[in-house]
Chain A
């Protein structure tokens, strides 16, 4: 069933008006992803942009994981009072 859906999506992408919307969104994503932005190529293909998007999301997930790890270790090693103080200070900032 999912293969039928993907096949119909493929034919839709090559014909329909949604092609324009897809190009719009792809160009938006292009500006957001640092790798493509730095290369300064306006001609990045849609599939390349999507691929870079997936890689970028994965790297962001990894960064969040690492930061959570770092934060939990910091909370464990700093003594309770100074951690509380630092957190409250960040709240006020």
Chain B
């Protein structure tokens, strides 16, 4: 079973994340309108789901980790400024994915790229960056597994 690979804290992170994310999904589902959705609504719902996933993950980890603190701060800041540029952000992210990886070699070059990927990575030294990366990857893969299971559950009904 997967739980053998993870430490006890990870399995409770998994259950905390599952509970929060499912609660958020219930809320989003209730907000559905009966009329057919416009593309704008579809996009907004996608963003709500994604935001719910990130918030649930970050709050399930709590303030124990620098990356979750940074992520929660960024989300709160985004909510306060009311970022309507979320559409452009989404497009930018897709374009970023299509670009080839940077030509920089060596530890420092790759660490710079890593800093941009891990939330709060800009303000860390290399050692804690690697530590946070390790934890971040574990939580991201937990997130993917839980979301896949939920999607399969909804699909099978």
Contacts and interface: CB of A to CB of B under 8 A. Distances in A.
B144 A60 contact: yes
A80 to B, nearest CB: 6
Interface residues of B, number: 57
Instruction: Summarize B's interface: helix, strand, loop or mixed.
Output: helix
Contacts of B42: 72-73, 76
Contacts of B107: 13, 22, 46-47, 50
Contact of B50 (A6, A64, A83, A84): A64
B114 A67 contact: no
Given A70-B151, A84-B26, A9 B108 contact: yes
B36 to A, nearest CB: 9
Interface of B: 18-19, 22-23, 25-26, 28-30, 32, 37, 42, 45-46, 48-50, 53, 93, 97, 101, 105-114, 117-118, 125-127, 130-131, 133-134, 136-138, 140-141, 143-144, 147-151, 153-157
